[in-house]
Amino acid sequence: MRKNQNLVKFIAIVFFGIVMSFLPAPEGLTQDAWIFFSLFVSVFIALILEPFPSAYIVLLGVAIASLLKLGPPLDPSGVVTSSKAIAWGLSGFSNTTVWLIIIAFMFALGYEKTGLGKRIALALVSKMGKSTLGLGYAIAMADLILAPFMPSNTARSGGTIFPIVKNIPILYGSTPENEPRKIGAYISWVALASTCVASSMFYTALATNVLAKSLVEDLGIVAPTWGQWFFYFLPVGIILILSVPLITYFVYPPGIKISTHIPEWARKELKEMGKISRNEIIMTILAGLALTLWILGTYLGVHATVSALVVLSLMVLFKIISWEDILNNKAAWNIFIWFGAMVTLAGGLNNVGFLDWFAIKITAAISSYPPSLILVLMLLIFYFIHYLFASSTAHVTALLALFLVAGRSIPGIDFPLLTYLLLYSLGLMGILTPYATGASPIWYGLGYIESKTFWKLGAVFGIIFIAVLILVGIPWIKLWI
């Protein structure tokens, strides 16, 4: 019965996409660009309704786009050959963030096989496990402490916090298949939402922030210093980082809230584990090496993904995990296919000119409004258009300069304020979708939160995040600039 329902959903989505693609393209947009957008919308709907697995849906979208030769960047000749089309179709799988995501899953496997993840999880639960809310705050604070030093939330949340946190729900008998809402779903969402807030709080917490600041300076606009970035966002950051575990507690409550016997049980389990093993020590050293390289990578000239690959190779060399373990990690390769294909499709929207067309149309449509209203509308459009992106870096590269140039030309607008707000939205928008930032597919791929719920939570928290930025951030920043 369910298979028939999924097939009906799929046919309906395909029919919708075909009908949409045959509609006349809006003025200023080519028919090819409109067809590609129709395909993207169909994939977007299918990801929410999930008639088939997400990875298959997105890969099918890439296959169709490559077959139709829609999506690749056009060269001066305007001709897209079949070889160019498939080269573009597979380009997402060479994305550095995609590889960092899959390596994060391998790191988690190392923590699991050595027992180090269980040991750390037991220690954390023994100290704070009496309250699920307390665990939520512990996870949020851990991300916040690491954030100033790690310019990648994929490495920070996915490579450092994820391998430890994924062991906690198991201690409570909560797995993706068995009672996911008991605790696993709650702490998964808190971990993701917290890293999104921390990513906006510090200039060095997200590589996209560094890129965005560089683009701002290239336009001759005064960019914030590290201290200014932190200070102007501080009240928004404090409110959000303190409220994320609490809001999640009420909006998406865990099944278990207080357990007096779990901490005591965790202490007994720790005692039974005995002394730390050789492999646990090696895994600790390798994890420390990865963390050090991620923190110092900017100064050493070592990319975060290169650091992760080196440490992964050492894990195999020291027999922490085997090559067969890597090959058999279905969850990792599933996310690799899903997110890599999504990066390709999202990039195609920019290649066909849809994003530039959309931004120009929107800014032209609101140009007659009062300057203060235009500022808020531009922020909201810039923020929610991230639904069309699988990378904050791609978002910034495609649209930040366009929005800044457009904003600077509007009489009466508080342009320095607009600049700050656009910059601060970059980390926060990572909460919107399962592919919005590097850490998203990792926590989504863990499997505790079902697809529809993930999208709903993303919308709810996305609105909360941007509302606090507007209601608290605007008056606070205006006091100082």
What are the tens digits of pLDDT across the range 346-368? 888 888 888 888 888 888 888 78
Which of the residue ranges 2-16, 160-174, 196-210, 415-429 has the most confident prediction, judged by mean pLDDT?
415-429
Task: Determine the average pLDDT of the residues in 93-119.
Answer: 85
Q: Are 378 and 366 in contact (CB under 8 A)?
A: yes
Residue 39: the pLDDT is 94
Q: Please indicate, yes or no, whether residues 258 and 198 belong to a single structural domain of this protein.
A: yes
Tokens of 255: 């099944």
**CA gap 54, 44 in Å, rounded:** 10
Given a contact cutoff of 8 angstroms between Cβ atoms, the answer to whether 337 and 59 are in contact is yes
Contact partners, residue 10, CB within 8 Å, separation at least 6: 46, 51, 52
Please give the tally of structural domains in the chain.
3
Instruction: With cut-offs at 50, 70 and 90, classify the pLDDT of residue 265.
Output: confident
Q: Does 322 lie in the same domain as 459?
A: no
Report pLDDT for 440.
Answer: 93
Q: Is there a single domain that holds both residue 291 and residue 378?
A: no
* pLDDT recorded at residue 359: 81
Q: What average pLDDT does the chain have?
A: 89
What confidence tens digit (pLDDT) does each residue in 114-159 have? Answer: 888 888 888 887 887 788 998 899 899 988 988 887 778 888 898 8
Neighbouring CB atoms inside 10 A of 220's CB total 7
Answer whether residue 339 is part of any domain. no
pLDDT digits (tens, 9 = 90+) for 173-204: 899 999 999 999 999 999 999 999 999 998 88
Is the residue at 218 inside a domain?
A: no
Could you tell me if 200 and 310 lie in one domain?
yes
Token pair listed for 275? 């002394």
Structural domain of 440: 347-480
Is 441 within the bounds of a domain?
yes
Same domain, 453 and 312: no
Residues 50-73 have pLDDT tens digits of: 888 888 999 999 999 999 999 898
Provide the residue type at 372 as one letter: S
Q: What is the mean pLDDT of residues 248-273?
A: 86
Together in a domain, 267 and 169: yes
Residue 399 pLDDT > 90, yes or no? Answer: no
CB-based burial label for 440 (10 Å; 0-12, 13-18, 19+): buried
The residues pairing with 131 across neighbouring beta strands, listed in sequence order, are 258
pLDDT tens-digit series, residues 1-56: 667 788 898 999 999 999 999 999 999 899 999 999 999 999 988 888 888 888 89
Q: Are residues 189 and 305 in the same domain?
A: yes
Is position 216 within any domain? no
Domain final residue pick, 330, 357, 388: 330
What is the rounded average pLDDT of the residues 399-421?
88
- What pLDDT shows up at residue 206? 87
Residue 416 C-alpha from the chain's centroid: 27
Residue 204 placed within a domain: yes
Position 251 pLDDT exceeds 80: yes
CB atoms within 10 A of CB 80: 19
Asked whether residue 398 falls in the same domain as residue 375, the answer is: yes
Quick one: average pLDDT of 307-317? 93
Mean pLDDT score, 231-247: 97
Domain for residue 394, yes or no?
yes
**Does the residue 340 lie in any domain?**
no
Place of tokens 């090959």: 327
Q: What is the 3-state secondary structure (H, E, C) of 208-267?
A: HHHHHHHHHHHCCCCCCCHHHHHHHHHHHHHHHHHHHHHHHHHHCCCCCCECCHHHHHHH
Cα separations in angstroms, 362 against 290, 368, 396, 430: 43, 11, 17, 22
Q: Helices (DSSP H) in 301-353: which residue ranges?
A: 304-317, 323-327, 330-351
- Contact yes or no for 40/348 (Cβ under 8 A): yes
Boundary of a domain, candidates 37, 62, 94: 94
Same domain assignment for residues 256 and 168:
yes
Does residue 476 belong to any structural domain of this protein? yes
308 lies in the same domain as 410: no
Same domain, residue pair 185 and 41: no
Half-sphere exposure of residue 442: CA atoms within 13 angstroms, side-chain side: 33
Tens of pLDDT, residues 432-460:
999 999 899 999 999 999 989 999 999 99
pLDDT for position 62: 94
Q: Quick one: pLDDT at residue 195?
A: 95
- % of the chain with per-residue pLDDT over 70: 99
Mean pLDDT value of segment 67-95: 86
User: Are residue 84 and residue 105 in the same domain, yes or no?
Assistant: no
